[in-house]
Amino acid sequence: MSVEATVRLYIFDADGTLRRTTVEGLPCPNRPGEWELIPGVRERLAEIDWGRARFGVASNQGGVGLGYLSLAAARGLLEEMVVEAFGVTEPPPGSVEICPHAPHLGCPCRKPQPLMLQRLMRRFGAEPHETLFVGDMDKDEGAARAAGTRFMWAHEFFRRSA
């Protein structure tokens, strides 16, 4: 049986996992037109039976706290990404978790802290062992460990060549 057969909640990091910027040197997009889905994301997500599993996104958006973009803009960009990636008309309510705090503030939600993952699990009624978090950074793996969820690297989940 594949690992994924027992997953009831998939949580994805955004930048470097589902989307990438189209502006050189920009770590994450600040406005529309500055990002695209990473090739293969949509096709891989379409393989999942969304009738028996839910999904969420957990994204550190430190640029909000640093003044690069508003929280509404960050949310809008992530919601647009969800629509494109999952082929839905709009993101399921509560599926996008954002930490808007500047990195130096030591908030309880910025990954590798587990709060965003815990909120999504609570909201969608999933236990940690039924939850798979997919991300591309050490802080993603740390958040999964702290929340007790399973973890997969984005390049493994999306079968990207390293």
Q: Which residues bind Mg ion (CB under 5 A)?
A: 13, 15-16, 136-137
How far is CA 16 from each of CA 5, 22, 41, 137, 150, rounded to the nearest angstrom? Answer: 25, 12, 11, 8, 19
Closer residue to Mg ion (CB): 52 or 109:
109
- Rounded distance between C-alpha atoms, residue 127 and residue 117, angstroms: 11
Shortest Cβ distance from residue 132 to Mg ion (Å)? 16
Closer residue to Mg ion (CB): 27 or 125:
27
Shortest Cβ distance from residue 19 to Mg ion (Å)? 9
Bond preceding residue 128 cis, omega within 30 of 0: no
Shortest Cβ distance from residue 142 to Mg ion (Å)? 12
Closer residue to Mg ion (CB): 97 or 136:
136
Non-local CB neighbours of 115 within 8 Å, separated by 6+ positions? 108, 109
Closer residue to Mg ion (CB): 27 or 87:
27
* CB-nearest residue to Mg ion: 16
- Rounded distance between C-alpha atoms, residue 24 and residue 14, angstroms: 17
Shortest Cβ distance from residue 139 to Mg ion (Å)? 8
Non-local CB neighbours of 125 within 8 Å, separated by 6+ positions? none
